């Protein structure tokens, strides 16, 4: 019965409850807004310091041999420069003691070079950017045939 009386008191005074909850809400939301400086994310993430000082390569991967269109072209990736590799004597596979050896292949993909750079700067990584090579346009068979016919018609006129 005492619980219902206290509940009635709270519901009968909605302004007091709202102002108390409102002031709590404001303090939490203002504390959460803070500016992240370059390199700070890596320091508070719990990653060991030797991994924070690593170099990364930012690159745009080439199209695969079977890729015809331009659907997945233009992505940028971050890959860690590997440090230790050796051949496993049992199976002959390449082994590594590097925890970040295969991270960049699948996980760190970005839409632009700038996004990849800002991500690396936020984590305090030194980076090297490999520029995307310009694709060589090869003339298709139709273009070659058309140019032959154009040359033939120019000579007859």
Q: Please state whether 74 falls in left (phi above 0), alpha (psi between -120 and 50) or beta.
A: left
Q: Among 3-7, 97-101, 128-132, 148-152, which range has the highest average pLDDT?
A: 128-132
**44 or 90: which leads in pLDDT:** 90
Of 28-32, 37-41, 95-99, 122-126, which one has max mean pLDDT? 122-126
Q: What is the CATH number of domain 40-129?
A: 3.30.160
Q: Residue 106 has what pLDDT?
A: 66
Phi, psi of 28, deg, nearest 5? -70, -40
Q: Where is pLDDT greater, at 130 or 72?
A: 130
The ranges assigned to domains in the chain are 2-32, 40-129
In the predicted model, what is the mean pLDDT of the chain? 71
Report the predicted TM-score, pTM, of the whole model to 2 decimal places: 0.55
- Dihedral sign from CA coordinates of 94, 97, 103, 104: negative
């Amino acid at each position: 019965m005492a619980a219902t009386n206290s509940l009635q008191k709270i519901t009968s005074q909605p302004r007091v409850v709202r102002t108390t909850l409102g002031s709590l809400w404001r303090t939490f939301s203002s504390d959460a807004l803070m500016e992240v400086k370059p390199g700070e994310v890596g320091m508070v993430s719990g990653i060991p310091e030797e991994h924070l000082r690593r170099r990364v390569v930012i690159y745009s991967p080439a199209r695969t041999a079977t890729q015809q269109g331009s659907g997945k072209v233009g992505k940028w990736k971050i890959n860690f420069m590997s440090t230790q590799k050796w051949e496993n004597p049992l199976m002959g596979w390449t082994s590594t003691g590097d925890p970040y050896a295969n991270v960049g292949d699948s996980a760190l993909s970005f839409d632009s070079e700038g996004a990849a750079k800002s991500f690396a700067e936020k984590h305090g990584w030194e980076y090297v950017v490999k520029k995307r090579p310009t694709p060589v346009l090869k003339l298709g068979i139709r273009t070659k045939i058309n140019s032959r016919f154009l040359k033939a018609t120019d000579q007859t006129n």
